[in-house]
Structure 1
Amino acid sequence: MFTADRRQRVRAKLLARAREDERIAGAAITGSAARGTEDRWSDIDLFFGVAEGNAVADVLGDWGAFVYRDLGAVHHFDLQAGLVTYRAFLLPGLLEIDLGFAPAADFRPLGDGEFQVVFGEAVRRQPGSANAAHLIGLAWHHLLHARTSIERGAAWQAEYWISGVRDHVLALACLRLGLPAAHAKGADELPPDVTAAVRDALVGGLYVGELDRALRAATVAFLGELRETDAELAVVLAQPLRELAAIAQRVE
């Protein structure tokens, strides 16, 4: 297992290389190190702005080769988010490096994550209201598909959708209370009265009665959070969602 000292040395080496690379217009530390919550298990999260006139794909390719050659990476995968490409590397000792690359015009915090600029200039943070609207849409979408999956006898798929609703409710609560919303990073700081309803939506088995129960609980949890986040919209969605949760009540 990697040590904290090794993690610090690897991060310093990556940032030093970024300063020397004329194609990198800005670098920032993100994740737990930027939040001041780094612990024994934290990985390395860095975000780079690629200077105008340089292709992100070319820069990423060169950096990928460097991480394999000089840092001994054993595997990686990519994640695309708009104009941003994230490449996650696994190093010996289970050290993970997550590097984000974006055009310099998009060198900015994404979502509600912390963004500690090392050099360069970040563009203005975008308002977060759209994040809540998107989560709300995903939540009712997942509730609808959970019901459809139950009716079709697709138990695993139903569990997948219900679990997604729980995730979105927790994220909405985190946004509302000013906590990190991505990947449940702020969920453990939520008050018990917020998480109690979400806990009731945990799926305890792959049989129809339990899936129905968990779906109804997820609906209650979502509407409860929605009343706090957008009371007017909660009124609009309450009836159709309650109808959806009540379809095909069954006696086992």
Structure 2
Amino acid sequence: MFSVEERDLIRQRLLHLAEHDPAVLAAAVTGSHATDDEDRWSDVDLAFAVSDPLDAVMHRWTQQMYRDFAAVHHWDLPSGSVIYRVFLLPHCLEVDLAFSPEADFGPRGPSWRLMFGQSAPSQPVMSSDHDAIAGLAWHHALHGRISIERGRYWQAEHWISAMRTQTIALACQRLGHATSYAKGAHLLPTNITAPLETTLVRSLDEAELRRALSAAVGALATELTRTDAALADRLRPVLIELAAGT
């Protein structure tokens, strides 16, 4: 694994390159380093405001990441006008570079530290939509049950685990924690997380999948009651039906 010293040196080198790149008008450190929450395992997160077309700048930076930093692989995560290019470097170091048009360059949350240049005013952070999270949860429950009935047991495991993820997101949203990628899961109290342990799929045996699905549906119903009692009442007959026969 990478060392802290190696990670910090790479971040400094990247900022130095950005400051001397005419196409990069501004740069910011994002992620845990920006809020002084960085630990031994944190990755490198940087955001750039660029003047040239994003494609051209990203192509040039990508070549440099492979040439000078021995990148192993990369992929893109678009978010509005911003494109996050995610690189894997040797020794398991992840480097996330966000490329943004100058007009859209600015903080989208508290994890932001401007290093040079100017940024737009802070944009309000939109919390994940409750109906969308709840909708994904019942969608995954439905497809978990259908996958079991079809004998597609690996697919069933996927949907049951995905439903648990949405139940965790609902709990995190209710308590004001981050909802994406289970970033707030470690902050949830034991009375929420302990019942979720029963939703873990222990094997691909059909009986076990039905048991895990029933537990996951129960955990979802409990969380929906806490977050939106009216919605929980409307969904209850459907959830009972999905758990029936499990």
TM bin (shorter chain): 0.7 to 0.9
Which of 133, 136, 151 is 1:135 aligned to? 133
Q: Which residue in 2 is equivalent to 1:12? A: 12
Question: Is residue 29 from structure 1 mapped to residue 26 from structure 2 by the alignment?
Answer: no
Q: CA deviation at 1:121?
A: 1.7
1:108, 1:145 → 2: CA distance?
39
1:231, 1:240 → 2: CA distance?
15
Letter in 2 for 1:94: C
Which of 199, 202, 208 is 2:200 aligned to? 202
CA shift digits 1:13-52 (9 cap, x unpaired):
212222333433443322232343322222111222334x
Change (3 A) 1:5 1:160: same
Is there any run of 5+ residues in structure 1 with no aligned partner, and where?
none
Which of 96, 110, 114 is 1:117 aligned to? 114
Q: CA deviation at 1:105?
A: 4.1
Question: Is residue 245 from structure 1 mapped to residue 237 from structure 2 by the alignment?
Answer: no
Give the secondary-structure state (helix, strand or coil) at the position aligned to 2:123: coil
Aligned length: 245
Give the secondary-structure state (helix, strand or coil) at the position aligned to 1:200: helix
1:218, 1:109 → 2: CA distance?
36
1:38, 1:60 → 2: CA distance?
26
Bigger drift between 125-134 and 148-157 goes to 125-134
2:218, 2:115 → 1: CA distance?
44
CA contact (8 A) 1:197 1:220 kept: no
2:198, 2:106 → 1: CA distance?
37
CA contact (8 A) 2:163 2:216 kept: yes
Q: CA deviation at 1:222?
A: 1.5
CA shift digits 1:78-100 (9 cap, x unpaired):
33344332222222333221112
Question: Is residue 55 from structure 1 mapped to residue 66 from structure 2 by the alignment?
Answer: no
Letter in 2 for 1:47: A
Q: CA deviation at 1:195?
A: 0.8
CA contact (8 A) 2:7 2:93 kept: yes
CA shift digits 1:201-228 (9 cap, x unpaired):
1111212221111111111212222223
Aligned positions of 1:186-197 closer than 5 A: 186-197=184-195
2:125, 2:228 → 1: CA distance?
16
Give the secondary-structure state (helix, strand or coil) at the position aligned to 2:84: strand
Letter in 2 for 1:78: D
Letter in 2 for 1:16: H
Aligned positions of 1:98-117 closer than 5 A: 98-108=96-106, 114-117=111-114
Give the secondary-structure state (helix, strand or coil) at the position aligned to 1:49: strand
2:26, 2:132 → 1: CA distance?
29
Between the aligned residues of both structures, percent identity stands at: 48
2:229, 2:29 → 1: CA distance?
36
CA contact (8 A) 1:105 1:123 kept: no
CA contact (8 A) 1:26 1:122 kept: no
Change (3 A) 1:4 1:204: same
1:227, 1:190 → 2: CA distance?
17
2:29, 2:68 → 1: CA distance?
21
1:210, 1:13 → 2: CA distance?
51
Give the secondary-structure state (helix, strand or coil) at the position aligned to 2:129: helix
Give the secondary-structure state (helix, strand or coil) at the position aligned to 2:219: helix
Over the aligned positions, Cα root-mean-square deviation in angstroms equals 2.3
Letter in 1 for 2:47: F
* TM-score of the pair, normalised by structure 2: 0.88
Bigger drift between 141-150 and 28-37 goes to 28-37
Give the secondary-structure state (helix, strand or coil) at the position aligned to 1:134: helix
